Amino acid sequence: MVQSTASVILRDIRKSFGAMEVIKGIDLVVEAGEFCVFVGPSGCGKSTLLRLISGLEETTSGVIEIGGRDVTDAEPSARGIAMVFQSYALYPHLTVRDNIGFGLSLAKLPKDTIRAKVAAAAEALQLTPLLDRKPKALSGGQRQRVAIGRAIVRDPQVFLFDEPLSNLDAALRAQMRIELSDLHRKLGATMIYVTHDQVEAMTMADKIVVLNGGRIEQVGSPMELYNAPVSPFVAGFIGSPKMNLYDGKAAGEACATYGIRPEHLRLTADSPRWTGTVRHVERLGADTIVYLDVPGLGEMVVRADGEQFPRVGSSCGVAPLPGREFRFGPAA
């Protein structure tokens, strides 16, 4: 079931709702077969950008190309895309079979072809026993799979996902992440995936696009973003727990913002760079997350190994690993 695939190219895309500009000029190339994730805080325009690519929303200016073809003014159905919605958007009055086959029946395909394609998609997603149920008789994960099945049968070149996992519980989300990655490998189609969960972005993406306020902040592979964030915004967004970010002057550095990741700090007694009071300790087994109050800097999060349990209220020395510090911008 290998599918055709296509690149997606955005050239200076802008979108305004009334007087408010939501997408402020986006240039992006998504290679054919790539798993591209849009991340960013709520309201930064991720969904809007995805809807522009899908054709549900018209661009104010700019050009969208899919598979080398200018589709800026094309109908959604003529773009070779399929979309999976956060709410799944299954047709409540149709059975799973008819939900998956809806697009095919609109395209007036022969009944046998439809049946065969629906059966193949259902087989791939383990939906075969559920084909005659209505959506309301399905669990969240099953609905999710039906929505994906509805996308697959259309043989799209590009899959668009808008926060497809956010309605699932943590365990199911982890499982669906793996299933989606498998699906991507199996189909080889281009996938564009919107999320505000940086774990989803890090685990699934070939390419992450960090959006902020309608602009691209940085584009790169997960490890590029982790190792070389271009701005405090990206640095704070990628990685968990969040990077510690301080005003440069307060940290005694010649830069606007100084950043150090919790995993790149170690607790040490001899010649610490900072000393703080332990406010809270989270034991995760493999690691211990320590929250310190450092005078002059504020809160500092340290990821220590699982054997270390500093007492709450005690005083602790901290030192950064050399070469792992980030300095953003010139000093003010």
Contacted by 309, from other proteins, Mg ion, ligand ATP, none: CB < 5 to 8 Å by type = none
Contacted by 265, from Mg ion, other proteins, ligand ATP, none: CB < 5 to 8 Å by type = none
Question: Which residue, 189 or 202, has its beta carbon nearer to other proteins?
Answer: 189
Position among 68, 92, 129, 285 found at the interface with other proteins (CB under 8 A): 92
Contacted by 295, from ligand ATP, other proteins, Mg ion, none: CB < 5 to 8 Å by type = none
Q: Measured from the CB of residue 47, what is the shortest distance to ligand ATP in angstroms?
A: 3
Position among 25, 62, 67, 76 found at the interface with other proteins (CB under 8 A): 76
Contacted by 271, from Mg ion, other proteins, ligand ATP, none: CB < 5 to 8 Å by type = none
Total residues at interface with Mg ion (CB under 5 A): 1
Asked whether position 209 contacts ligand ATP by CB under 6 A, the answer is no
Asked whether position 139 contacts other proteins by CB under 8 A, the answer is no
d(CA 269, CA 315): 10
Q: Which residues pair with 191 in a beta bridge?
A: 35, 159
The window from 58-66, 102-110, 196-204, 317-325 that contacts other proteins (CB under 8 A) reads 102-110
Question: Which residue, 92 or 313, has its beta carbon nearer to other proteins?
Answer: 92
Asked whether position 46 contacts ligand ATP by CB under 6 A, the answer is yes
**Tokens 């200016």 correspond to what residue?**
61
Residues that bind ligand ATP (CB under 6 A): 17, 22, 40, 42-48, 196
